[in-house]
Amino acid sequence: MNNLKLTNSLTRKKEIFKPINLNKISLYACGPTVYDYPHVGNARTLVVFDILFRVLKYIYGNNVKYVRNITDVDDKIIEASKKSKKSINEITKNITEIFHKDCESLNCLKPTFEPKATEHIDGMIEMTNSLIKKKFAYVNDGHVYFSISSFGNYGKLSNKKLDELKSGNRIEVSNLKKDPMDFVLWKPSNQDDPGWESPWGRGRPGWHLECSVMSEKYLGKVFDIHGGGLDLIFPHHENEIAQSCSNNSTDKFANYWMHNGFVTINKEKMSKSLGNIVTISDAVKKYSGQVVRLALLSAHYSQPLDWNDELLENQKNTLDKWYKLYEEQKNQDIMDSTDILLDDLNTPGFIAKIHELYNQANSGDLKKKSLFNSACRFLGLFNISKDEWQNLKKKQIKISEDYIESKIKERINAKKSGNYDLADKIRDELSEAGILIEDEKGKTKWKYK
């Protein structure tokens, strides 16, 4: 029985999920704009909606359609191309490949469809034309703008009136607009920039239009769930609703809207100006994909998450502990504790349940050991074997075995000469490097932590 509850950004309430069609559960999440390496803020959105996809598949099986787009035409991409003196194709191809590697590292399931914006330009021209004919959009000097005054519900998702939205938000300033809040559906392209022929001249689509066209193609005019990061509520998602509902004469675009909270770095906002952007690739290289994934799930998706070494070390230690009870996958019995996740994807509660199962299994309860392993896998963990996990740890430790042996000899000599402070210091240094020293029956052994 489906007891799934989700917090709907549109109503600002936790609601029981009621799909439009039990045989076609529809989920759309905004994917990356492929102009630069994806960072841990992007990773959070990826992992949150991967968990939702897993939960929906658990309830509805193969009736779930998950669409996550790739934005491969955008002003940021053009800017990156000019700055790096690389072609747009080279940049988008390279960053898309990196993005797919990141998804793999984080053990995210592949979406059902992953459309690229450049593959759907005809549909974007068609929707723009339709909005002009229906008097929701107007043309001015090769630009096509959506007229927000034509859509009465504008601001409903962000729960703000127009005057509030006008202040302090990233709105493109142009004297071609009838209203400063109007947004672009189509814009002209310079000869060197990507462009497509249209009734308004050679140009390219606006960012908001892309998602409206791709979601409709794969999921229909009205679908179940639309998601993304909190920063997308306005203007991106607000504008998607306006253009799609206007064009399709519908009251809704998606029935449920879900948004994950921001990721800060050591309590500061991530930004290029502060130089504190942490890419997924770097985070995974330093800590492994499973550690990064568990860290991203350690707070409720709707809350902010602070990214710091202490958080990651804690998750690494947790996985080291959990891997002691790793066993090859036997069954998919996931137990009644999925109810925790059905309550608005309560991943911190589910992780607490896994800790509880670990303690029970560690006391010799074989059934609980099996459930523990299933629960870890349901969360997207334990995707590599115990041996692979140990080898991964060895690779992450930057000191050689010869160096470890030499430090142990130095420690033994320090103890013999009564210099216990030095002996303790050597032990602590090795411990910080991921090496555990054990003294047993007059002999010293070491192992990877």
Residue 191 sits in the same domain as residue 159: yes
Sort 268 into a burial class: Cβ within 10 Å, 0-12 / 13-18 / 19+: exposed
Q: Determine the pLDDT at residue 274.
A: 82
Q: Determine the pLDDT at residue 329.
A: 78
pLDDT digit string, tens, across residues 139-177: 999 999 999 999 999 999 999 887 777 755 667 778 899
Q: Which long-range contacts (CB under 8 A, 24 or more apart) does 410-413 make?
A: 411/437, 411/444, 412/444
442: pLDDT strictly greater than 80: no
Averaged pLDDT, 71-97: 96
Residue 285 sits in the same domain as residue 241: no
Residue 384 sits in the same domain as residue 285: yes
Residue 92 sits in the same domain as residue 223: yes
For residue 382, the domain's CATH number is 1.10.730.10
The residue out of 204, 234, 260 marking a domain boundary is 260
Residue whose token pair is 């300033």:
173
Q: Are strands 268-269 and 435-440 parallel, antiparallel or unpaired?
A: unpaired
Q: Record the pTM.
A: 0.89
| Residue that wins the pLDDT comparison between 202 and 275 | 202
Q: How many structural domains is the chain composed of?
A: 3
Domain hosting residue 97, numbered range: 5-260
Residue 87 sits in the same domain as residue 230: yes
The residue out of 347, 367, 393 marking a domain boundary is 393
Q: Are strands 443-448 and 435-440 parallel, antiparallel or unpaired?
A: antiparallel
Q: Determine the pLDDT at residue 336.
A: 66
Query: Distance (Å, rounded) from C-alpha 256 to C-alpha 230?
Result: 14
Residue 253 sits in the same domain as residue 333: no
Residue whose token pair is 């988008």:
92
Residue 247 sits in the same domain as residue 279: no
Residue 154 sits in the same domain as residue 272: no
The residue out of 215, 244, 260 marking a domain boundary is 260
For residue 132, the domain's CATH number is 3.40.50.620
Query: Distance (Å, rounded) from C-alpha 380 to C-alpha 103?
Result: 12
pLDDT digit string, tens, across residues 12-68: 999 999 999 999 999 999 999 999 999 999 999 999 999 999 999 999 999 999 999
Residue 142 sits in the same domain as residue 210: yes
Residue 141 sits in the same domain as residue 176: yes
Residue 363 sits in the same domain as residue 240: no
Residue 321 sits in the same domain as residue 274: yes
Please give the order of strands across the beta sheet that includes 25-29.
Answer: 64-68, 25-29, 223-229, 254-260
Q: What is the mean pLDDT of the chain?
A: 93
